[in-house]
Chains A and B, each alone.
Chain A
Amino acid sequence: MSNTAAAGHTLAHGDNYINHTPGIKSWLGTLDHKRIGMMYLYTILCFFLLGGIFALMIRWQLFSPDSHFVDHDKYNRLFTYHGAIMVFMVIIPLIPAAIGNFVLPMMLGAKDVAFPRWNLASYYVYLTGALFAASTLFLKGVDTGWTFYTPLSIRTQSSATWVLIGAFIMGFSSILTGLNFIVTIHKLRAPGLTWDRLPLFVWALYATSIIQVLATPVLAITLFLLILERTIGIGIFDPKLGGDPVLFQHFFWFYSHPAVYIMVLPGMGVISEIIPVFSRKPMFGYKAIAGATFGIALVSFVVWGHHLFVSGQSEFANFVFSLITMFVAVPTGVKVFSWLGTMYKGSIRFNVPMLYVFSFLFVFTIGGLTGVFLATVSVDVHLTDTYFVIAHFHYVMVGGTIFAFLGGLNYWFPKFSGKMYNETAGKIACLLVSLGFNVTFFPQFILGTLGMPRRYANYLPQFTTLNMVSTVGSWMIAAGLLLTAFYLWRALKNGKPAGDNPWGALTLEWQTPSPPPMENFLYDPVVTDGPYEYRGEKIKLGMYA
């Protein structure tokens, strides 16, 4: 294998994964990781739209303290759907299954993931589970909150069982993706792509996959037991039958806390890709960032108890979980400082992906710092289950994952489609989303410290002003996202050709035509250098950056 084209290639520049075989059937049955990634992307975006509509309805209800836009039962369904859809159907698969599926094998110089059939299966498993859960919208709905706390989730007359089955099924999709990625990273790296030359996005997906593989089965058994609890009353989580409702919380958060890192680590990986490319500098502290990624993944398994500080778990447990949780701050800080260090004395380009990085750093810092508040056990007592927590995890989940996703989408869009979008529109959208986000969620920190509890359909009148501001912010986010959808759609239809490597990136996925050919590369790539070694002429690469 060498840098020269292998014999037998018949691929012309122009035959690519999009037009290789025509027709919807060839997409639905495809084993190509790029097509599967795109199918994931479009499906997830549909659910993102649905979850977003629920969010707007929640904010509309909360525009005034005594709103009768929806009644209590409907409101409880709104926030349950918003949470369940956004967590299980959007944020968990968003970056790994959509962007990761497309980019990961290319970054490794591979032709596909290790198990293409399982990859396609994971998509259909996801779709089945998601449709199962979403079908309850036409039944009695679900009103348990996305956390399904027992015994409320056992007693409710709503269609909770179907949503549980849906989430259970989606778990297997997550496991399949994680398994596939781990083996792909181990076994399908191009010659010369040693572990210390892996792009940081690959490191992030690797850590994410390990969490997915280790934590998701525990969610599966938890949901399975809860389904049996609702159907035949096995009693393990039901205090009336001799079970322990707090045990459910331990089971649930043993998965769902690591799941937070399933959501945010890939986002951090995207940021780590974008910063060096648009700073034209090697990553500052590459090993520290890769190490911090694993540090966070490791710690994530032993901090679940910080969700239970006021649940009645023992004082000793609170001591241990609070102490360990503190250490999440350290590797997270290392990452933020290293990203800043990468910009230092760089040559910074202000393209749309980089603007999202600035937004990300701004909001993620707030999200991370407020995490320290909640890790401090006594401070958490006042703040938990108030809007402070809502604000905190939106700063991490939206500020972390969604902003990184939008950055990544704008970054890899030219690779996905071969087209370039209108950058001015992109910058306006980024500004709208970022501003709107802070207008929506910053007031919620103050609402929380003032004491406004979460999951309230109506609230005391002194919370009105801040809630109104928050609702106005939600419209700004919606406007920004709609604009994004619009300019990307226009680019797909008649965007200018982007060229193979518009940003001048050095990772392998940019060293092949856009959109990529069916098996990714025209020749078998060989790696001779790290992923961000900007020296000499490489700095001048890229016609858009």
Chain B
Amino acid sequence: MSSSVSTQPGEHHHAHHFSSAIAEFEACKQGMWIFLVTEVLFFSGMFLAYAVLRVFYPDMVHEAHHMLDWRLGALNTVVLLTSSLTMALAVSSAQRGNKERTVKMLAITLLCAFMFLIVKYIEYKAKWEHGTLPGHLFINEHLKLEKTPLFFSVYFVMTGIHGLHVIIGIGIIFHIMRRAARGDFSKDYFTPVEITGLYWHFVDLVWIYLFPLLYLIS
């Protein structure tokens, strides 16, 4: 067995196939960036479907978007932007080895994420009551323009998949927070915090695009 891993007290045990902890950190970061590229392409398919819809049925999309409450959307934008800030602060505290502050910032991020979901729940509930649901589930009788269900199909698919990313994010952040509280991270080892941060910024970024495209159509 290779014994290139020499460990000193307090130092992170990097995986034996990396030459050093720095090499491992670099690799993990690069892996996360590549993963985010795949995410961009995954969402790009939905954005393309959205674009086709707007070109095909501009009037219908315009009418249907009034069913979305832009105030709630804006609130959620603020909530997510705040969480992005606290996430960035969590990463920088982790880099400085400030355990307490890292945990605190992660906790605020978590709080924001939950708040986002609560607002989203209020919005979804309203859709449920109005019957403005995707596809065959659509039962609203006030929206007169034909093909209106298409708009809500796209709305639910896009916000639904984004919401799923938020939920996954909550799971990861919670896990990272527990590890941080346990003292797993130090000035020399904060890879998980850093790449979780990358992921979370991406989730926020998607929302920054979704909000104007769905809620603010002129």
Contact = CB atoms under 8 A, between A and B. Distances in A.
Interface of A: 6-11, 110-112, 114-116, 175, 179-180, 182-183, 186-188, 213-218, 220-222, 225, 228-229, 232-236, 241-244, 247, 251, 518-519, 524
B34 A519 contact: no
A215 B42 CA distance: 9
A182 B15 CA distance: 18
5 contacts: A111-B2, A233-B149, A242-B147, A244-B56, A247-B49
Interface string B21-40: 00100110011001101110
Contact of A217 (B41, B153, B157): B41
B150 A218 contact: no
B17 A234 contact: no
Given A234-B153, A241-B135, A218 B45 contact: yes
B135 A234 contact: yes
A251 B49 CA distance: 10
Contacts of B150: 234-236, 241-243
Interface centre among A215, A233, A242 (most CB of B within 10 A): A242
A187 B42 contact: no
B146 interface: yes
Contact of A244 (B23, B30, B52): B52
Interface centre among A11, A116, A225 (most CB of B within 10 A): A225
B57 interface: yes
Nearest to A184: B27
B135 A218 contact: no
Interface residues of B, number: 41
Interface in B35-64: 35, 37-39, 41-46, 48-49, 52-53, 56-57
B154 interface: yes
A112 B30 CA distance: 17
A247 B84 CA distance: 35
A540 to B, nearest CB: 32
Contacts of B42: 217-218, 220-221
B16 interface: yes
Given A111-B16, A186-B30, A236 B41 contact: no
Please give me the 9 A-B residue pairs with the lowest Cβ-Cβ distance, nearest first. A221-B45, A234-B153, A8-B3, A242-B147, A111-B17, A233-B135, A217-B42, A217-B41, A232-B135
A188 B17 contact: yes
Given A111-B16, A232-B134, A234-B150, A179 B3 contact: no
B52 A213 contact: no
A235 B149 contact: yes
A177 to B, nearest CB: 12
A318 B65 CA distance: 35
Contacts of A175: 38
Contacts of A236: 49, 52-53, 150, 153-154
Contacts of B8: none
A234 B151 CA distance: 9
Contacts of A244: 52, 56
B30 to A, nearest CB: 5
Given A111-B17, A242-B147, A519 B2 contact: yes
B7 interface: no
A459 B146 CA distance: 43
Contact of B157 (A7, A182, A225): A225
Nearest to A111: B17
Interface centre among A8, A180, A241 (most CB of B within 10 A): A241
A209 B123 CA distance: 40
B57 A242 contact: yes
Given A111-B17, A242-B57, A243-B150, A183 B45 contact: no
A232 B136 contact: yes
B38 A235 contact: no
A5 to B, nearest CB: 11
Contacts of A215: 41
A410 B199 CA distance: 43
Contact of B34 (A213, A218, A225, A242): A213
B44 to A, nearest CB: 7
Given A111-B17, A221-B45, A232-B137, A214 B37 contact: yes
A347 B3 CA distance: 42
B38 A251 contact: no
Contacts of B27: 114-115, 183, 186-188
Contacts of B1: 8-11, 518-519
A214 B42 CA distance: 9
B4 interface: yes
A242 B41 contact: no
Given A242-B146, A247-B52, A519-B17, 12 more contacts: A7-B3, A8-B1, A10-B1, A110-B17, A111-B17, A175-B38, A183-B31, A187-B26, A213-B34, A214-B37, A225-B49, A519-B1
A7 B1 CA distance: 10
A8 B1 CA distance: 7
